A and B are shown apart, each in its own frame.
Chain A
């Protein structure tokens, strides 16, 4: 009895269980990891808008800073410091 049952179980796990497991994980990975086309396009647009707005904001802040010496735009990132030598590092400002 055992001579028949054991190979059947092994064959079943190898040819049904294993592909099942792999396919199950492949489908799960595909649905979770990949971004739908429209979401990808939306994210692309938003990212581009954010960058463009940041550039404009930067320009506006520099214009205001040039007109009003008492106004200092807050430092957000390294790029602000690089492009505007007047601002200086946060450490210098706090002194």
Chain B
């Protein structure tokens, strides 16, 4: 079975310790610096020891991210959008198909109209 794209993974490539914060950043699309800063602030402002327990529990339970999950950064960004709001991403995909349809229609129109002008020229030569 292929790996899910809407699951939470540990990001071991950009990890500082266990990759929980970088995984969260990768999941949501928030900059990893802010995630780490938020975690540290939460711990200092009375979250201790619960944030630490949650961190270690997440680090133990979540799987590391498969290295070939996304082809490039654009695909990774797309799936971040899907995780945040699937309906909007679906609309985006539909919009890109509509855009393709318009471009193809332009090409079609160009060739069909050119052929009629060519036919007109042949007609005038007779």
Contact = CB atoms under 8 A, between A and B. Distances in A.
B5 A74 contact: no
A64 B100 CA distance: 16
Nearest to A41: B2
B93 interface: yes
Given A34-B6, A57-B103, A61-B103, A50 B93 contact: yes
A76 interface: yes
A47 B103 contact: no
Contacts of B6: 34-35, 40
Contacts of B120: none
B107 interface: yes
Contact of B97 (A41, A44, A50): A50
Interface of B: 2, 4-6, 75, 78, 82, 86, 89-90, 93, 96-97, 99-100, 102-104, 106-107, 110, 114
B90 A43 contact: yes
Interface string A28-66: 000000110101110110110010011001001100100
Nearest to B1: A37
Nearest to B110: A71
B97 to A, nearest CB: 6
Contacts of A41: 2
Given A53-B100, A54-B96, A47 B78 contact: yes
Interface of A: 34-35, 37, 39-41, 43-44, 46-47, 50, 53-54, 57, 60-61, 64, 68, 71, 73-74, 76
29 contacts: A35-B6, A35-B82, A35-B86, A40-B5, A40-B6, A41-B2, A43-B82, A43-B86, A43-B89, A46-B97, A47-B75, A50-B96, A50-B97, A50-B100, A53-B100, A54-B96, A54-B99, A54-B100, A57-B100, A57-B104, A60-B107, A61-B103, A61-B107, A64-B107, A68-B110, A68-B114, A71-B110, A73-B103, A76-B99
B109 to A, nearest CB: 10
Given A43-B82, A46-B97, A53-B97, 16 more contacts: A34-B6, A35-B82, A35-B86, A43-B89, A43-B93, A44-B5, A50-B97, A54-B96, A54-B99, A57-B104, A61-B107, A64-B107, A71-B110, A73-B106, A74-B102, A76-B103
